[in-house]
A and B are shown apart, each in its own frame.
Chain A
């Protein structure tokens, strides 16, 4: 398509403005985590590593980080197993209600988090409480898994669509049993999609707050919850900035890697 010079300039400006609206505030958070001025005056009176040191020694922040890591890893693990199996079933087999299952699997990502949160909260209260399982890390993991599964399901599904079905047939044709076909052909072709799906799922879980609010018990604080609780406390503000900066970094890196891997042709370099 030919685009005139004026149109190109305008489009460029709009793109730049759009990106700026998203990323300038994020840069501000990063910068403020080094701002020597306690009340984040602008321009910064100087740069300091004080807040980072303070954050490192903040027990609350460290504990929250650990909780977030645990919840993220567990939710990702569950999502990888269930998401892969579901994608496999939906894309490689024909059965009654296949489309419906596919739709129901993807739906949780579109549902407002607050609705999922309330629903899960009510369900846990009526089902888990009576059998002695209280709100805590376990309920957070289950809550996160509901949307992490979608990410893995979508990633693996996209990959399966690109892997020619004739590959599995060729493998069987050459004498491989089902598990050999999976081990030598299907799994290696899916490996990078699994990794990408896992990273994205982890990133999503790591900064989730809405569902977490409704599924975490009073003692369970993930990093985003901790930030939320400490936002209002003036003397914690600098540390909150550091943690927010950390969250940005931890989220950006996996998404970047995941995108690189997903654009790789089937097989990938992983």
Chain B
């Protein structure tokens, strides 16, 4: 999957910011990263999405230079950096715990990259202030990290990593420690920051919402391998594997006998819960069935009101279960109550095959 991506793009003017070639990383007997090929283009917001322990953070640390690959090759902007120490790579990291220097003021933290490069004091203070303005933290320059809220620390960490405009910004679960409202606000802000600065962002997260909201492209990581690479829409609408279908969004996975009964064909199929419509079983199936809709009937076993939508669990005659999401827009069919008979219908193209 990743390879086709690379090939189609190499012909165009897009340049490569990060490139991993057959990178493997072992920790003792554990293989954290398994022969991964990955290409991140310049100016892209790229996300490594995967469950904890999938090796996504190790991938990020390999790019930063904190870990040395057991095998393979790492390139930044076309240069082989496999053996280059972190301090000589043109990338900066926003750490999960922010890693702000506790004994330095906000301003000193932000100016650090300039300080160690010997930039004159007047200039580095000016540029630190500038970076603080970008993250909307004017007036916080002389505070200590301990006096800041979680969201503010996050912004300081961002400003510190952006102050000398690295080629690539690495973000390790940067929003993990924030509450929901702040997380959503920061998602928008991160995306905006990436657009205005034009810096390549490589983000690691286990949160599919975060990945879908912010990324230009997503790589879904599992057990040290990349399962699928592609734009959010593609990963969501056309998952390459059953794992991707289940991990990115929720889905109804139907295999073997169940696939034959529900979908009408053998194989493994995924039907997104929001693609299934609830209909009144008393009414004859709409004329739509002619143009490739599939209709089944079942019994509602559970109804969960989840704010903007309602989640139905429906038991089909042979014990198969389907989850249906329905936007809370209009009234429900009469029978849409616990234990009620209900009709389900979906476009046959929405039951798409996934390799299992």
Contact = CB atoms under 8 A, between A and B. Distances in A.
Contacts of B102: 189, 265-267
B82 interface: no
A210 interface: no
Contacts of A185: 101
A188 interface: yes
B86 A172 contact: yes
B113 A175 contact: yes
Nearest to A176: B116
A19 interface: no
B95 A175 contact: no
A171 B112 contact: yes
A79 B316 CA distance: 76
A20 interface: no
Contact of B117 (A173, A175, A188, A265): A175
B18 to A, nearest CB: 15
A184 B99 contact: no
B299 interface: no
A174 B112 contact: yes
A166 interface: yes
A188 B87 contact: no
Given A188-B103, A189-B102, A170 B95 contact: yes
Nearest to A183: B116
A172 B99 contact: no
Interface string A140-171: 00000000000000000000000010110111
B206 to A, nearest CB: 19
B97 interface: yes
A270 to B, nearest CB: 10
A164 B97 contact: yes
A35 B173 CA distance: 69
B327 interface: no
A267 B65 CA distance: 27
A166 B60 CA distance: 14
B87 A166 contact: no
A169 B103 contact: no
B99 A169 contact: yes
Given A172-B85, A172-B86, A172-B87, A177 B116 contact: yes
B152 to A, nearest CB: 17
Contacts of A266: 102
Nearest to A185: B101
Interface residues of A, number: 21
Main secondary structure of the interface of A (DSSP, over half): helix
Interface string B68-106: 000000000000000001111001110101010111000
Contacts of A267: 102-103
Contacts of B87: 172-177
A189 B103 contact: yes
Contacts of B116: 171, 174-177, 180, 184
B97 A166 contact: yes
A129 B116 CA distance: 50
A267 B109 CA distance: 14
Contacts of B95: 166, 169-170
A174 to B, nearest CB: 4
A70 to B, nearest CB: 33
B115 interface: yes
Contacts of A189: 102-103
Given A174-B160, A175-B87, A176-B87, A184 B115 contact: yes
A189 B87 CA distance: 20
A213 to B, nearest CB: 43
Interface in A233-270: 265-268
A185 B99 CA distance: 11
B117 to A, nearest CB: 6
A169 B67 CA distance: 11
Nearest to B89: A173
B258 interface: no
Contacts of A177: 87, 116
B19 to A, nearest CB: 20
B64 interface: yes
A154 B242 CA distance: 52
Contacts of B160: 174
Contacts of B115: 184
A181 to B, nearest CB: 8
Nearest to A165: B99
Question: Which of A164, A171, A173, A177 has the most chain B CB atoms inside 10 A of its CB?
Answer: A173
Contacts of A167: 99, 101
Nearest to B66: A169
Contacts of B117: 175
A138 B92 CA distance: 50
Contacts of B101: 167, 170-171, 184-185
A23 B101 CA distance: 42
Given A177-B116, A184-B116, A170 B103 contact: no
B92 A174 contact: yes
A172 B116 CA distance: 10
Interface string B118-149: 00000000000000000000000000001000
Nearest to B93: A173
Interface of B: 64-66, 85-88, 91-93, 95, 97, 99, 101-103, 112-113, 115-117, 146, 160-161, 164
14 contacts: A164-B97, A166-B95, A167-B99, A169-B93, A170-B95, A172-B85, A173-B64, A173-B87, A173-B91, A174-B113, A174-B160, A175-B87, A177-B116, A189-B103
- Please provide the 4 A-B residue pairs with the shortest distance between their CB atoms, ordered closest to farther: A170-B99, A166-B99, A174-B113, A176-B116
